[in-house]
Amino acid sequence: MPELPEVESLRQILERSVVGRTIVGTRIGRLPLRRKVTTNFGPRIRGRRIDKIGRRAKYLILDLDGEDVILVHLGMSGSLTCRDRDFDSSEFDRRHDHIEFRLDDGTRLVFNDPRRFGIVRLVVRIALPDLHELKGLGPEPLSEAFNADYLAAQARGRKVAVKNLIMDQRVVAGVGNIYASEVLYRAGVRPTRRAGRLKREEIVRIAKFIPIILRDAIDRRGTTFRNYRDSEGRPGAFADRLQVYGRAGEKCYRCSTSIRNVLVGQRASFYCPTCQK
């Protein structure tokens, strides 16, 4: 599933390529997404200009002129690509092109999602803060609102595993399974540790490495294992930087101990038993 770095990388590319462009037409595929696209979706956005590309947690927000925004979630396998005449679409199965936005410069902005768990939804801007998908989200991990004091307050007295805590979208928005494993490795904390029993210095390290890991991943366009591609059709390059995620049985780069895999909250969690305590 695309996490915050993949979505933020996508936002930055779209901001450069489609802001200021006008939607002149749409095409909606036959197969429904998790949330069905409304019948007035195409007519309502036709002729509207894309003024800004925002992000909240793992959601993209295409801000249109007028009163509406388009909310996009990539789901498990979605992508949103800008396709011009030179775009290489060989990595994409056209059968899974569910929504196509035709822009005034001839570019097509295409939402492709093989597993169809994604969301593309038209929302009135003033309703955005109260939207079910966004209401109750924690602070952005790259914002000043997220720091060690905040994380310590969230962890205090909690019996939940620390990995589950930092993946709880109500605690901090956008941290997913890949980057939670990498953060805890860098912080030297096992994913199974109870959040409420962490020492202050451990919480400080976790709060420090969350934005560091995420920014590093954003700079490398995120992580690709199978089918994730950014808006220009390129795979993410952060997979080459992974220290523990997906490396069960392989040697730790730091100490040569075998990386282990344990289920935490029904998710695969990778760690080094020597480097993480």
Q: Which residues are catalytic?
A: 2-3, 58, 267
Q: What is the 3-state secondary structure (H, E, C) of 106-132?
A: CCEEEEECCCCCCEEEEEEHHHHHHCC
Q: What SS3 state is found at 28?
A: strand
- Supply the DSSP symbol for 30: S
Burial of 143 (0-12, 13-18, 19+ CB in 10 A): exposed
How many residues comprise the chain?
A: 277
Long-range contacts of 17-21, Cβ-Cβ distance < 8 Å, separation of 24 or more: 17/82, 17/107, 17/231, 18/50, 18/53, 18/82, 18/103, 18/107, 18/109, 19/50, 19/51, 19/52, 19/53, 20/49, 20/50, 20/51, 21/49, 21/50, 21/103, 21/104, 21/105, 21/107
